[in-house]
Amino acid sequence: MSATKRILFLYTELAEYVLACIEQLEKEDVEVHVVRFPLNSEAPFEFRKLEKTKIYDRSDYSDEQLKDLTDKIGPDIILCSGWIDKGYLSICRMAKSQNIPTVLLLDNQWVGSAKQRIASLTSALFLKNKFSKAWVPGAPQKEFAQHLGFKEIRTGFYCADTHLFEKAGAARKRTIEEKFPKKFLFVGRYLEFKGIFDLWKAFIELYDEGLNDWELICAGTGDLWDQRIEHPAIKHVGFVQPAKLLDLVEETGVFVLPSHREPWGVVVHEMAAAGLPMICSSTIGAASKFLVEGENGFVHKAGDQDDLKSALKKMMSCSSGELKSMGNRSFELSKSISPQLWTKTLLELL
């Protein structure tokens, strides 16, 4: 690019993996500005410090002040997560009228609900006058964007910090060469829709049936923390920062995410990059990209405890050699999205 481009993100809940991508973006001849919502109390991440990117708290700006800030920045492109913030939408409408590229960041899967069909019919009124393009995680979201009338749609917006988890995977390889750890790992919030009660109950049933040489490590916190099921083979470690999560990855064997609903699930990409076999529910968007049934894990019907139990049992029945091969396949699949490819896509959107 001949001149420094200014990029503005109007973001809701910022995540560490987004910053990993922006850190890669900083290597280009661009100026990056990010407006973000306050931190989620259920995920109090300690974020990395970015050298060049300027970050602003949404709560510090009224809608009018945010417009003034945007005018001061003079962005060459605006990327906005969703359509819940009216101030963000107002800025995008103004920018689009000035022929500045405006990109909708969308993670909703197309399910064909009445609400989504109405949105499809009315998108010309409430979206197409604000956004010129869409950038989505994967195929389930691309279908929704198509229904909304977008013609230019890119995939691969959600991306793990692959470098970080690949390092953990390299350390883990040394661990599993000696003995494959018979430990399942769950990472997520303690909420009903995450399928945690299905997981705990299915695991305990298998334990009582004699498959008691496996453990279950659960990392996370949430509204249902106090209702967690205690068991000798289940370890609740609470919310962990990324560095601690890497330690858990190195010592565990198989990742499991039994969500009843999950638009994408970047953690699936993270665990694939670390080379873990995995069990995911059928509703998880990222599973369509990073899990191939029978090759690097198993998919179970979302919300079906018996089907989850069956998937856990199949994984427990695999040999160490089979589990290692699954992990290698996970790593191969993880390479399809990276911070480098993320940056390339964004520069093309410019």
Are 179 and 319 members of one domain?
yes
pLDDT tens per residue, the chain (350 residues)? 458 999 999 999 888 899 999 999 999 999 999 999 987 666 666 677 888 999 999 999 999 999 999 999 999 999 999 999 999 999 999 999 999 999 999 999 998 899 989 988 888 788 989 999 999 999 999 999 999 999 999 999 999 999 999 999 999 998 898 899 999 999 999 999 999 999 999 999 999 999 999 999 999 999 999 999 999 999 999 999 877 899 999 999 999 999 999 999 999 999 999 999 999 999 999 999 999 999 999 999 999 999 999 999 999 999 999 999 999 999 999 999 999 999 999 999 98
Q: Where are the alpha helices (DSSP H) in the chain?
A: 16-25, 63-73, 86-97, 114-126, 139-147, 162-178, 196-208, 242-251, 266-273, 287-290, 305-316, 320-334, 339-349
Predicted local confidence at residue 192, as pLDDT: 96
Q: Report residue 35 CA to chain centroid gap.
A: 19
Which pTM value belongs to this model? 0.93
CA distance 129 to 137: 23
CATH number at residue 71: 3.40.50.2000
Contact present, 200 and 234 (Cβ < 8 Å): yes
Mutual angle of helices 320-334 and 266-273, in 10-degree steps: 120
Q: Which domain holds residue 244?
A: 162-334
Torsion of CA 206, 212, 214, 217, to 10 degrees: 70
Are 317 and 342 members of one domain?
no
Are 39 and 124 members of one domain?
yes
Are 261 and 342 members of one domain?
no
Predicted local confidence at residue 123, as pLDDT: 84
Predicted local confidence at residue 44, as pLDDT: 62
Q: Which residue has the tokens 């417009």?
A: 67
Are 324 and 176 members of one domain?
yes
Are 326 and 266 members of one domain?
yes
Are 201 and 80 members of one domain?
no
Are 134 and 261 members of one domain?
no
CA distance 63 to 6: 21
Predicted local confidence at residue 42, as pLDDT: 61
What is the biggest distance separating any 2 CA atoms in the chain, rounded to whole angstroms?
67
Torsion of CA 69, 73, 79, 84, to 10 degrees: 0
Are 118 and 213 members of one domain?
no
Structure tokens at 270: 């993270």
Number of domains into which the chain is organized = 2
Contact present, 157 and 103 (Cβ < 8 Å): no
For every residue of 54-85, DSSP letters joined together read EEEEGGG--HHHHHHHHHHH--SEEEEE-S--
The torsion angles phi and psi of 236, rounded to 5 degrees, stand at -100, 115
CA distance 135 to 144: 11
CA distance 82 to 62: 19
Predicted local confidence at residue 1, as pLDDT: 44
Whole-Å CA distances, 52 to 24, 33, 107: 11, 9, 27
CA distance 118 to 345: 30
Are 272 and 129 members of one domain?
no
Contact present, 293 and 299 (Cβ < 8 Å): yes
Structure tokens at 101: 């590229």
Contact present, 100 and 75 (Cβ < 8 Å): yes
Are 59 and 188 members of one domain?
no
Are 212 and 287 members of one domain?
yes
Residue 338 half-sphere exposure toward CB, CA atoms < 13 A: 15
